[in-house]
């Protein structure tokens, strides 16, 4: 075991190498010591969130004029990957904030809205993206949250479920329908700030994995939102949802890639330390072949993630590639994490070692921001021209 897993640095420019290395070092020094405690407490350490802002990881694509780093979508994917090698739960915060919330505001927000909210998102306000409901999961546009015209804007009523970042967020992009009879053409996106009367964060889910990441219910009870908080056009919220979720699939792919890398590194190190029958288990061909297969699949996932992110930045079509990225990277993450547990043996089944957490965290990759079946449907339509 003299050759480590292929490094992402071999596929990056000098600036990208420096950025990835900086984020990876931050993850290992600042996040790693807190992973177990945050998982047990089911809560991100507030000081860690502050450090993510201080390092600029919450404003990667926000223009410098608004206090951000002025980076690329590819940079955001690199940050998500690097953090996920240590803790995919922390990466969720960075992913949703950057790939969904910031990008939606940058693309569809008015000049006034960008001046108002992008500096906050770069400085100290975590973003959350509220689309899902009890009856609106894969059928994303079957939502029931209503937005009725009010004196100064709209009055929101309804509930959202499974909203990532909900407990930490200061700014929410909320999807509601202004006309249920119009189907998806009634869906409108609103920017709702924490503390708005009639809006509250409800029950926090007790999850299998990524437990430090908050996933909560949102409650809207006659929540009045100014007309100026409509993001994009009334009745065109479905376009914002589709655009951002296509980008978000690449972010999840990056998260699952990083998770797989982290699990592989732990498995490879343990295989060289654990001795049976008088030698390290890494000297047995069966273990070597398992690690080799894992490494090969991780490299293939990396190429998919990087290609999709590069296409997005280049303004090229990427819907098919994004779906392939999420589909395959989530499969690789689950297989790699499972094999990591097996290489650890009995120790892989207890919480004293990192293998079981990677395994728990991996499962959600096939579920959120579009299930694997939804990705397959998207891919089939793209390749078959349906």
Residues 151, 203, single domain; the answer is yes
Domain final residue pick, 214, 236, 258: 236
Whichever domain contains 311, its CATH number is 1.20.140.10
Whichever domain contains 81, its CATH number is 1.10.540.10
CA distance 292 to 218: 44
CA distance 240 to 244: 6
Quote the number of domains for the chain: 3
> What is the pTM for the complete model shown?
0.96
Structure tokens that stand for 30 in this block: 């600042």
Structure tokens that stand for 78 in this block: 């690199």
369 is catalytic: yes
Helices marked H in the chain: 14-26, 35-41, 46-54, 73-84, 88-95, 103-108, 111-123, 237-273, 285-313, 319-344, 355-362, 372-384
Look at residue 297 and tell me if it is in a domain: yes
Domain final residue pick, 203, 236, 269: 236
Q: Distances in Å between the alpha carbon of 297 and those of 87, 300, 338?
A: 20, 5, 14
Residues 251, 370, single domain; the answer is yes
Residues 75, 139, single domain; the answer is no
**pLDDT in single tens digits along all 386 residues of the chain:** 334 566 777 789 999 999 999 999 999 999 999 999 999 999 999 999 999 999 999 999 999 999 999 999 999 999 999 999 999 999 999 999 999 999 999 999 999 999 999 999 999 999 999 999 999 988 878 899 999 999 999 999 999 999 999 999 999 999 999 999 999 999 999 999 999 999 999 999 999 999 999 999 999 999 999 999 999 999 999 999 999 999 999 999 999 999 999 999 999 999 999 999 999 999 999 999 999 999 999 999 999 999 999 999 999 999 999 999 999 999 999 999 999 999 999 999 999 999 999 999 999 999 999 999 999 999 999 999 97
Residues 211, 290, single domain; the answer is no
Domain extent for 98: 8-125
| 3 state SS for 190-205 | EEEECCCCCEEEEEEC
Q: Which of 61, 81, 321, 369 is catalytic?
A: 369
Residues 111, 48, single domain; the answer is yes
Residues 29, 109, single domain; the answer is yes
Look at residue 1 and tell me if it is in a domain: no
Using one digit for the tens of pLDDT, what is the confidence trace for 303-348? Answer: 999 999 999 999 999 999 999 999 999 999 999 999 999 999 999 9
Look at residue 2 and tell me if it is in a domain: no
Residues 250, 308, single domain; the answer is yes
Assess contact for 264 and 3: CB atoms under 8 A. no
Structure tokens that stand for 314 in this block: 């280049």
Q: Which helix (H) or strand (E) covers residue 215, if one does?
A: strand 215-226
Look at residue 110 and tell me if it is in a domain: yes
């Amino acid at each position: 075991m003299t050759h480590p897993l292929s490094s992402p640095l071999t596929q990056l420019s000098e600036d990208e190498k420096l950025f990835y290395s900086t984020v990876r070092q931050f993850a290992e020094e600042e996040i790693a010591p807190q992973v177990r405690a945050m998982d047990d407490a089911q809560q991100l350490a507030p000081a860690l969130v502050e450090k993510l802002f201080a390092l600029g990881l919450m404003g990667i694509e926000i223009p410098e004029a608004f206090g951000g780093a002025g980076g690329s979508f590819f940079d955001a994917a690199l940050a998500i990957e690097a953090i996920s090698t240590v803790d995919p739960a922390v990466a969720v915060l960075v992913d949703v904030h950057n790939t969904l919330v910031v990008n939606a505001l940058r693309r569809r927000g008015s000049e006034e809205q960008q001046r108002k909210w992008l500096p906050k998102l770069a400085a100290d306000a975590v973003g959350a993206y509220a689309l899902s409901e009890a009856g609106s999961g894969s059928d994303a546009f079957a939502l029931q949250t209503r937005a009725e015209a009010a004196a100064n804007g709209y009055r929101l009523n309804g509930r959202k479920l499974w909203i990532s970042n909900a407990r930490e967020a200061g700014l929410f992009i909320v999807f509601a329908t202004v006309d249920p009879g119009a189907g998806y053409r009634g869906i409108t996106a609103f920017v709702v700030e924490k503390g708005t009367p009639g809006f509250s964060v409800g029950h926090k889910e007790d999850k299998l994995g990524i437990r430090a990441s908050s996933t909560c219910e949102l409650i809207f009870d006659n929540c009045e939102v100014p007309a100026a908080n409509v993001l994009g056009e009334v009745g065109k919220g479905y376009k914002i949802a589709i655009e951002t979720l296509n980008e978000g699939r690449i972010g999840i792919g990056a998260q699952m890639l990083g998770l797989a890398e982290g699990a592989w590194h732990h498995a490879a190190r343990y295989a060289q330390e654990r001795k049976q029958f008088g030698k390290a288990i890494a000297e047995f061909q069966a273990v070597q072949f398992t690690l080799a297969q894992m490494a090969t699949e991780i490299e293939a996932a990396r190429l998919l993630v990087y290609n999709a992110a590069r296409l997005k930045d280049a303004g090229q079509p990427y819907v098919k590639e994004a779906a392939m990225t999420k589909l395959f990277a989530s499969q690789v993450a689950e297989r790699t994490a499972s094999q990591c547990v097996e290489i650890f043996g009995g120790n892989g089944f207890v919480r004293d070692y990192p293998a079981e957490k990677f395994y728990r965290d991996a499962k959600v990759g096939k579920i959120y921001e579009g299930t694997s079946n939804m990705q397959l449907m998207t891919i089939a339509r793209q390749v078959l021209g349906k």
